[in-house]
Structure 1
Amino acid sequence: KATTEMPTPRPPRRTAAPAPAAAATATPPPQRWRRPGKTISKGHRNYHLMLNLQLGIRHAVGKSAAKPMRELSRADFDPREKFWTRFPPAGSKTTPPHSSSEFRWKDYCPMVFRHMRKLFAVDPADYMLAICGDDALRELSSPGKSGSFFYLTQDERLMIKTVKKSEVKLLIRMLPSYHKHVKRYKNSLITRFYGVHSVKPYGGQKVRFIVMGNLFCSEHRIHRRYDLKGSSYGRKSDRFEEETGDATTLKDLDLNFAFRMQRPLYKELHEQLRRDCAFLESEGIMDYSLLVGVHFCDDIVPASKMALSTFTTSPATLNVSLSEKSRQLQLQVHF
């Protein structure tokens, strides 16, 4: 059962404040802290995969933008609604020449994801520039527990995750209900999906991937990242406290301070979480968690008040809507 406050084992030294994520079309200001991941430059093992991905995204977005937007039909959600494009090195009538080897590109339900990007206020030009611009993608240091690899755009607005065939099938299967849910509840905290694609190099292995919004894109530094499942079994990081950094993902038992919110905002957030969890349950999904990003505001709250709460909202923020306030929170589905 969710409550507005959790026990505080020990008084924290700093106060936490919300770190609202930047809008999809806005570029965050220059950061003064170290960016996560390693830039994929020439010689990197996934350099050509990145080039293929960028060529495919540029082609897919440009191709869809040339067509007028129309209402979605049932056929657009059909799992068989996917399109192959061949990319020979010399180029073709529809594809540009490139320095990589020949590959095939596949788009899954492109019209649906075009509507989804519009629904999430993602500008097509900004989307294409973030992935396909002059800046290379960054690969996170290690794959996730599932074996997937994660890539970030340089502006950190978008994240690309490699997935298995079964995971693509699951997302495409739930796409009609997912679209209906996020369209009805604009403040949904479920991961925002922007596209599903695959790359098949000539004579190589097919790589499937999902493009989604990056929760931790913010003008504020994210000092702590938590992956919360509401469980205590195995829910503690294997890192010592002194080894914990900005990029470390902590778990339920690592959370040692309270979050306190204004009652109206808390009720709105709690209700949206209930709706989102009900949706995931209806889709037969059990493995998901709540991601939380925390930004500490030093020297703002008097020391005498620090033990009472590490997440506060001032009277000036009472009128902030859930959509503006809660994008530091996200329900992440683990396929």
Structure 2
Amino acid sequence: MCHHRMERSVPRSSFGKPSSTAKKQRWERLRRQWELLGVFEIDQQHEFYSLTCMIKEGLSMSIQTATDSAPTNQLSEEDFISKVTQIHKGFTLETFAGPVFSKLRGSLGVTEQEYQQSLCSDKCYLQFISNSKSKADFFLTNDKRFFLKTQNEREIRFLLDNLKIYMEHMRTYPHSLLVKLLGVHRINISYRQKKYFIVMQSVFYPDDRISARYDIKGCEVSRWTNPVPEGCQIIVVLKDLNFEGQYITLDQQRSWLLRQVEIDTDFLRSLNVLDYSLLIACQPLQQDERHHALSFASLIKRTKRSVHPSTSPSQSIPSVPGTVPEVYGFKKRLEYWWKRLRHPGRTFSTVSPRNYCTRLCQWVQDHTK
């Protein structure tokens, strides 16, 4: 067992109020698990167990409806604003723009059957303990193929309002590094608080050979994460300062990656958003793969491009997640001036969308060969 303190968010729940003694015992159990795992199973003792069971039940019916429906060759205006409410015992599940996301799943080669099998299996969801400042809860399917993230109503509305141009971007650039959004839902439990959530393809699937993960924003302030000792099982996502001194060797694929990052970040800039990241995973190569690194690009399903860092014989898989980033409004402008006074001469995440876009593209330029 390794002893390591890790930044983490505390799981939150709006469903139920356990007694102080039970709550204390639960937190103690979770703290012990945190010392061992960055991802752990939501079992029957977990406060989110009931919620995730309802989510799985609701998604099963929602996906079955999509499976039974005739395939949509051409999406209509109504498809983008559709909302289907399905009633279950003790809760309802709303599915937004179902035909749109069903079509997107099909374009990515994800069948409705395997989507349902992964999201609705009997196996428990996993909770990802993130060092993100976000108040969102993060869940993974047990096979780690799909990611669920809670969102507030403002974020969901922003996503749905821009869904049509997102779909057009993904159609025009099928190898886009933007995260693949696969579903938007809201679960309503009796008269208690409603909870919105989105479903995404997991950027780090399959993860059995990933040796390091980086979340890159192209700045300095708060961009260091303490690495775990070698052999420790904690899953930690490292940051910009952890990556310094390393480079990704792309050879002939460098121009493609630079151009795609430019296209994707310009798309996000056009929506006036920021605070997105470039996710990079390092994957050790097998002995036979080291001599044929460019021949197994299809092994990497995230970008269908094979890139490998020069620091070690491995592959690096980049992806720009776009899970409804922050909109640059009055609050963010105030934050920019505050950080500028607090961190003079240093770079930080809160800048204008144009500067954010330019800076991340520059980071990729500077750290690739």
TM-score range, shorter chain: 0.7 to 0.9
Which residue is 2:335 aligned to? none
Unaligned runs of 5+ in 2: 1-35, 308-315, 327-369
Which residue is 1:46 aligned to? 48
Higher helix content, 1 or 2: 2
Which residue is 2:84 aligned to? 83
Whether the aligned pair in 2 keeps the contact of 1:262 and 1:313 (CA below 8 Å) is no
Q: Amino acid of the residue matched to residue 80 of structure 2? A: F
- 3-state SS, counterpart of residue 87 of structure 2: strand
Which one of the candidate residues 171, 174, 177 is aligned to 2:165?
Answer: 177
Q: Amino acid of the residue matched to residue 317 of structure 1? A: L
Q: 1:212 and 2:196 equivalent?
A: no
Which one of the candidate residues 271, 285, 302 is aligned to 1:283?
Answer: 271
Whether the aligned pair in 2 keeps the contact of 1:261 and 1:313 (CA below 8 Å) is no
Query: What is the 5 A alignment of 1:1-335?
Result: 36-70=38-72, 71-78=74-81, 81-88=82-89, 102-142=90-130, 144-218=132-206, 220-237=208-225, 239=226, 242=229, 247-296=235-284, 314=291, 317=294, 320=297, 323-325=304-306, 328-333=317-322, 334-335=325-326
Q: Please give the alpha-carbon distance, in whole angstroms, between the structure 1 residues aligned to 2:162 and 2:320.
A: 16
| Identity fraction in percent | 26
Change (3 A) 1:225 1:270: same
Whether the aligned pair in 1 keeps the contact of 2:228 and 2:236 (CA below 8 Å) is no
Which residue is 2:346 aligned to? none
Q: CA deviation at 1:288?
A: 0.7
Q: Please give the alpha-carbon distance, in whole angstroms, between the structure 2 residues aligned to 1:241 and 1:196.
A: 34
Q: Please give the alpha-carbon distance, in whole angstroms, between the structure 2 residues aligned to 1:143 and 1:59.
A: 33
- 3-state SS, counterpart of residue 274 of structure 1: helix
Q: Amino acid of the residue matched to residue 147 of structure 2? A: M
Q: CA deviation at 1:46?
A: 1.1
Q: CA deviation at 1:234?
A: 2.4
- 3-state SS, counterpart of residue 124 of structure 2: coil
Whether the aligned pair in 2 keeps the contact of 1:222 and 1:246 (CA below 8 Å) is no
Deviations for 1:185-230, whole angstroms, at most 9, x for unmatched residues?
1110001010000111102111110000111112542221111011
Q: CA deviation at 1:59?
A: 0.6
Give the RMSD, CA atoms, in angstroms.
2.6
Unaligned runs of 5+ in 1: 1-33, 89-101, 301-311
Q: Which has the higher contact order (CA 8 A, sep 6+)?
A: 1
Question: Given the two structures, how large is their TM-score scaled by the length of structure 1?
Answer: 0.75
Change (3 A) 1:143 1:197: farther
Q: Please give the alpha-carbon distance, in whole angstroms, between the structure 2 residues aligned to 1:177 and 1:320.
A: 28
Change (3 A) 1:83 1:111: same
Q: Please give the alpha-carbon distance, in whole angstroms, between the structure 2 residues aligned to 1:172 and 1:53.
A: 20
- 3-state SS, counterpart of residue 171 of structure 2: helix
Change (3 A) 1:65 1:240: closer
Q: Please give the alpha-carbon distance, in whole angstroms, between the structure 2 residues aligned to 1:332 and 1:217.
A: 14
Change (3 A) 1:133 1:318: closer
Q: CA deviation at 1:266?
A: 0.9
Question: Given the two structures, how large is their TM-score scaled by the length of structure 2?
Answer: 0.69
Q: CA deviation at 1:277?
A: 0.7
Whether the aligned pair in 2 keeps the contact of 1:262 and 1:318 (CA below 8 Å) is no
Whether the aligned pair in 1 keeps the contact of 2:66 and 2:112 (CA below 8 Å) is no
- When the two structures are aligned, how many residues end up with a matched partner? 275
